[in-house]
Structure 1
Amino acid sequence: MNRDAFLELAGQIMTLPTAPYHEQFVGDAVAEFAARRPHLIMSSDDFGNLLLLYDGDKEETASGGRRGRRRPRLVVTAHMDHPGMAFAKRLSGPDFLFERLGGVPEDLSRDGKVDIFRLDRPSHQKPIRGRIMACVSPAAGGSEFRIRVGRDDSDEVGPGSFAMLALRPLEARKRRLRARACDDLAGVTTGLCFLDELLSRHSPIRAGLLLTRAEEAGLGGMLAAARSGSLDRRALYVNIECSSCRAGAQLGAGPVVRVGDRISLFDPQITGGLVAVAEELTKAAAGADRPFRYQRKLMDGGTCEATVLTRAGYGVGAVALPLKNYHNAGRNGLRPEIIDLDDAVWLVELLVGVALHPAGVTGASKAAAKKMDRAIGARQREQARRLRRQRSGRPTHS
């Protein structure tokens, strides 16, 4: 995986309009991606979540080339939405109420420009430009934005319309990728690149990609999927997020192996396996022109979909791309979100490394733990001998 390959797919996914409950354009692009790759099987549940499965070990298993129990499938997850706004009702003339969906920054949005899209038009439609005039808090809770459009456009806005902040969809500058919706379309892109890498290598393993809806509006898609009983209980899950640098991660220092979030600590075996594979990749790239980097952090600024799976009893770990201008909140106003391209490429390499590890993610964790136990045991024996010789700091006389 290299930057150009990631950027090519990012151009197909990260330029698409999306918002909670309005992920249709992203879903259509994912369906086209799967249709061009006959070794992928895509399905949709009753809630519109998408599952792409890759069964690269079918031929070997069918021919008897593999014996014994198959290892659990590795499924990475991401969400297809980004904070936005959805049509609620027309007020008068060119003024409309739009429901605030997710963490659109209210304090920075007054007088902010928005782009309004319609689901009954092509994904790369010319949006209707509007302006946020006020934020309204209904008695029932939540919040809405009063948005004004040009009078010539007022009849074009109605049910099915949704809005995003009027920011450039995607721009690459050297190592930085700026976009109106890195969170979590960069995660979707990473997951698709992960599958593409497995396909290109004809990898004899089983993997999957679960893409959920309405994460920004309360983790809705993942809650529905986890409680529906449709997910594989034996699978191991790794959630991909874009997480704010304010939690301590640095752009360009590598993807984050996320130990937990504000609510949960994730499966220690899966987390340990992610770290073990990341360490192996770091050592293998030592002295090379292009190193491998990663970070290990708690990232407790918010709650991610891995907590939903954890609470539902699934085995889950998490990774994250460090994100600047989280939810488009810049230091001095609304700004595109920013990730580092190398972080994204390294994350794809990490996920592929985990999928292809001979012992699997939990096996890698156990091997690393055994190595640590041996090192600790050797140190304990050496320390015990010295402690006996010098009890209480005084030499022992025979």
Structure 2
Amino acid sequence: MNARRHALLTELLRQPSAPFHEEQVIAVVERQLTEACVPFFRDPVGNLIVGCASRAQYRRLVLEKNPEPLRVFMAHMDHPGFHGLCWLSRTRLKVRWHGGSPVRHLSGSRVWIATHENEKMEGKLARVRLIKSKRAIDTAEVQIAGAMKGPRPAARTLYGGFDFRAPVWCSGKRIYTKAADDLVGVFAIVDTAMDLFANRRGANLTPFLGILTRAEEVGFIGAIGHFELGWLSNARRPVVCVSLETSRTLPGALVGAGPVVRLGDRRTTFHPDYLEVLSDIAHKTLPKKHQRRIMDGGSCEATAATAYGLPAIGISVPLGNYHNEGFEGGPDCRAPRAPAPEFVHLDDIDGMLMLCRALMRAGPAWREPWKPSRRMLRKRLREYQGLL
């Protein structure tokens, strides 16, 4: 990964983010896209649309009569975290958690707290209550570290998440961070867009859209809101949604062994025709440097796309310590399954970027992905015809 890409990746990973509080991520992305002359706008839900400057341009791209599929890359800008509810004292804040979380060894865990203006504080968790299923935090108290200076921010303007030695740091080719899921996917879409528009300025509409969504961690809320707008309905060209995720490492999907051609998630398998295209691209682009698996450690926005009748496929970067739960342990994890920094591998991210670029190449395989397989099957039939 070159220095420019590494700087963009680490800048995104440093940003505070929680469901419905993606403003700092959006600010960085909008600045980067503006500097790179990549068009973008926000939809009515607050998602960031990359590759078009307006709803009108978006619709022209969707309604263009063209056999070349429109690739709609999707990633989410939020990570599980908490919202402030009310102040219990000058330095004690009651909070509610949104999304998944570790459920062990929580008392005394370090957290960061941010405001809309990106002012940051530090604190520790106390009096943690879990949701009824015991699978995640419900509410807790945060004890603010140190004395607060000046007027106290309104409780409901505050949000936060687990804190570690730094927002992001490297150890060899591993990147440890407070939140890789899914800021790595956001990075991949932004970098892909910057590459496409750097090489095609002034060209006709490129069959690319990026949708950077909000509040995925509480049930694909941003994606659902976008699909409900109906902007992808009645398309005059094929559309394929490509979910870019940072997904829990599993047997057969290991950190450092390459990006994963995601065959499905916990809820559903993905579109067989477009999945065959992705698989073929991965074999040609990253021979022996990619993985294939149903990534059923969680669900992703490809499920939401499928529910709205849109063909979907997915690419994942394997993720250690999913949702900050110390499944794999490592630095800053004080006990098994305790809060821990997430981690990913630079080679896996580079592989995801290569697959995204390869997916943007035009070709007949998009229209007849199974043609080579049919040719092979017919040859096999001819070989055994005499025995029938």
**Could you say which residue in structure 2 is the equivalent of 1:288?**
none
Distance change in 2, residues 1:27/1:211 (3 Å): same
Separation of aligned partners in 2, 1:282 and 1:303? 25
Separation of aligned partners in 2, 1:252 and 1:143? 33
Distance change in 2, residues 1:137/1:173 (3 Å): closer
**Could you say which residue in structure 1 is the equivalent of 2:9?**
10
Distance change in 2, residues 1:108/1:248 (3 Å): farther
Separation of aligned partners in 1, 2:361 and 2:211? 19
- 1:88 counterpart SS class: strand
Separation of aligned partners in 1, 2:13 and 2:351? 18
1:342 corresponds, among 347, 354, 357, to 347
1:82 corresponds, among 63, 79, 82, to 79
Separation of aligned partners in 2, 1:96 and 1:281? 50
Separation of aligned partners in 2, 1:3 and 1:245? 25
Distance change in 2, residues 1:76/1:335 (3 Å): same
What's the RMSD between the two structures over aligned residues?
2.4
Q: Aligned partner of 1:30: which letter?
A: V
Q: Are the counterparts in 1 of residues 68 and 362 from structure 2 also a CA contact under 8 Å?
A: no
Separation of aligned partners in 1, 2:304 and 2:354? 26
Q: How does 1:257-268 map to 2 (within 5 A)?
A: 257-268=261-272
2:143 corresponds, among 138, 145, 148, to 148
- 2:212 counterpart SS class: strand
Q: How does 1:214-293 map to 2 (within 5 A)?
A: 214-231=215-232, 233=235, 234=237, 235-246=239-250, 248-282=252-286, 293=289
Deviation of 1:54 (Å): 5.7
Separation of aligned partners in 2, 1:9 and 1:77? 18
Query: 2:125 aligned with 1:132, yes or no?
Result: yes
Separation of aligned partners in 1, 2:225 and 2:105? 32
Query: 2:103 aligned with 1:102, yes or no?
Result: no
Q: Aligned partner of 1:143: which letter?
A: D
**Could you say which residue in structure 1 is the equivalent of 2:58?**
none
Q: How does 1:317-336 map to 2 (within 5 A)?
A: 317-330=313-326, 331=329, 332=335, 333-336=338-341
Separation of aligned partners in 2, 1:338 and 1:83? 15
Q: Aligned partner of 2:264: which letter?
A: G
Query: 2:105 aligned with 1:112, yes or no?
Result: no
Separation of aligned partners in 1, 2:257 and 2:362? 23
Q: Are the counterparts in 2 of residues 109 and 334 from structure 1 also a CA contact under 8 Å?
A: yes
Distance change in 2, residues 1:84/1:228 (3 Å): same
Q: Are the counterparts in 2 of residues 247 and 300 from structure 1 also a CA contact under 8 Å?
A: no
- Deviation per residue, 1:201-233 (Å, 9 max, x gap): 338632121000011122111111111213464
- 2:50 counterpart SS class: strand
Q: Aligned partner of 1:210: which letter?
A: I
- Deviation per residue, 1:229-254 (Å, 9 max, x gap): 13464432101111101364111221
Separation of aligned partners in 2, 1:36 and 1:149? 37
Q: Are the counterparts in 2 of residues 256 and 320 from structure 1 also a CA contact under 8 Å?
A: yes
Q: Are the counterparts in 1 of residues 75 and 245 from structure 2 also a CA contact under 8 Å?
A: yes
Distance change in 2, residues 1:247/1:218 (3 Å): farther
Q: Aligned partner of 2:184: which letter?
A: A
Unaligned runs of 5+ in 1: 56-66, 284-291, 389-398
Unaligned runs of 5+ in 2: 54-63, 330-334
Separation of aligned partners in 2, 1:193 and 1:130? 34
TM-score (norm 2): 0.85
Q: Are the counterparts in 2 of residues 93 and 151 from structure 1 also a CA contact under 8 Å?
A: no
- Deviation per residue, 1:266-300 (Å, 9 max, x gap): 111111111111112135xxxxxxxx621111111
Deviation of 1:68 (Å): 7.5
Sequence identity of aligned pairs in percent? 28
Q: Aligned partner of 2:214: which letter?
A: R
Return the structure number with greater helix share.
1
Q: Aligned partner of 2:106: which letter?
A: S
Deviation of 1:324 (Å): 0.6
**Could you say which residue in structure 2 is the equivalent of 1:42?**
40
- 1:13 counterpart SS class: helix
Query: 2:20 aligned with 1:21, yes or no?
Result: yes
1:301 corresponds, among 284, 297, 314, to 297
Q: Are the counterparts in 2 of residues 132 and 147 from structure 1 also a CA contact under 8 Å?
A: yes
Q: Aligned partner of 1:16: which letter?
A: Q
- 1:334 counterpart SS class: coil
Higher gyration radius (CA): 1
Q: Are the counterparts in 1 of residues 252 and 291 from structure 2 also a CA contact under 8 Å?
A: no
Q: Are the counterparts in 2 of residues 3 and 341 from structure 1 also a CA contact under 8 Å?
A: no
Q: Are the counterparts in 1 of residues 252 and 292 from structure 2 also a CA contact under 8 Å?
A: no
Distance change in 2, residues 1:344/1:3 (3 Å): farther
- 1:192 counterpart SS class: helix
